[in-house]
A and B are shown apart, each in its own frame.
Chain A
């Protein structure tokens, strides 16, 4: 067994152990506090834990399937996220072709370029080509009402849901000396740090949360949850240095940046939800809401993590 595989197995066992612990706690809480299923918070907690099992399972399967599996998983995530996003924005009939192009051209081409490892064109395909071509497609219909608003929203949807999200699998394209064949562990590192930060902020907030941090944007987020979550996720990230090309200190710094980007990304996406008058982006993941509700922090941290790693560690 290669070290990459054995590290992956160790990680999976660790995550599985934590989930097993979470499921047991959820079960006991449910028996004690909500035997008839009437306590909403506990039912939601258990729905969330169940969904976590499913998500970890899916990611594990993608990792086993290799590069193509990871690309397909994130292409699907981009598709579902874009579908949630476009559902909530202002569109008119004249945008039909531009939106169809976003789904059926921009998204597959973006992931194809990652598969082909054409980094140079991948990095500018959506920010340059799609950015300029989509408003051209839309303008051909001649409908000027709210034009700037409409094209900006579709553009933003594409950047967030496809371009930014695809920086998670883009980690596979990096060439780090001494880290050959282990890139998939970078994805595991990023996903574990971001998601544990979200979960730990939730746990710290539920246990000690008193002071609301952004009552207008996200009434459930607290200063105590934020500080406790970021600190503990940073420590967790530092302790995972052995799966990364980083030293423990570097891994901790990276984790700190990842968790901060994730936190503020969550706030940005909450602001959009408030503006649109919805509580969740969708209903894809039981207990969590839509896919974007789970992916928002990943989307904001992945490109920064990718570029920091690329700039200082990668040859490409």
Chain B
């Protein structure tokens, strides 16, 4: 009971902090808001990525959105596991295939069956390279095959990598925009390679044309 209340307070505080820092603003696709149940897949450059997506979603979409995150990272300490589990209700997956006890795709499909939306980062890890996007892992394809009726919504998070680059612990305030693309689905008979290429292309097409900020 108290834990729930604390979690609620923490989620409001985190959201207000994220908004104050980034003035986060969603740019929706011209077809309108994403469907009620969606798999949001986004570029990954910071631990704050899912928080921004979560913060800009309207309340009725936000309340069902669960981030998919690494159990190794979020179960490290009491504080992170409180934030991961209680505040954001993350679907925690084990990344190491050799050591894991449950199948991540199965876990995600179960969460979808419970009515949740998912926020996933198909690059698998935070992008620290000069490339805009790392090659996707295949999990997104397997999940899409398993639950072909759920729309996949590409989401480009702009600028957050400048707010808090890896290795820094003080964030700087910069305006971030979150660009939502047109929902897509896996086609019957579409190969893994084709689907992954299409999903990557859909996400990349949302990135701003000039990124000369690092010039």
Contacts and interface: CB of A to CB of B under 8 A. Distances in A.
Contact of A282 (B168, B175, B212, B215): B175
B210 A90 contact: no
B212 A284 contact: no
A30 B20 CA distance: 34
A103 B215 contact: no
A94 to B, nearest CB: 10
Contact of A93 (B23, B165, B175, B210): B165
Interface in A275-295: 277, 282-284
Given A96-B165, A96-B168, A284-B23, A91 B175 contact: no
Given A100-B170, A277-B210, A283-B25, A87 B215 contact: no
Nearest to B209: A277
Contact of B174 (A87, A90, A97, A284): A87
A90 B173 contact: no
Contacts, number: 40
A6 interface: no
Contacts of A283: 23, 25
Contacts of B215: 90, 146
B172 A99 contact: yes
A78 to B, nearest CB: 11
A84 B168 contact: no
B36 interface: no
B175 A87 contact: yes
Contact of B23 (A83, A90, A100, A104): A83
Interface string B127-166: 0000000000000000000000000000000010010010
Given A84-B175, A87-B159, A104 B25 contact: no
A282 B140 CA distance: 34
Interface string B179-215: 0000000000000000000000000000000101111
Interface of B: 23, 25, 159, 162, 165, 168, 170, 172-175, 210, 212-215
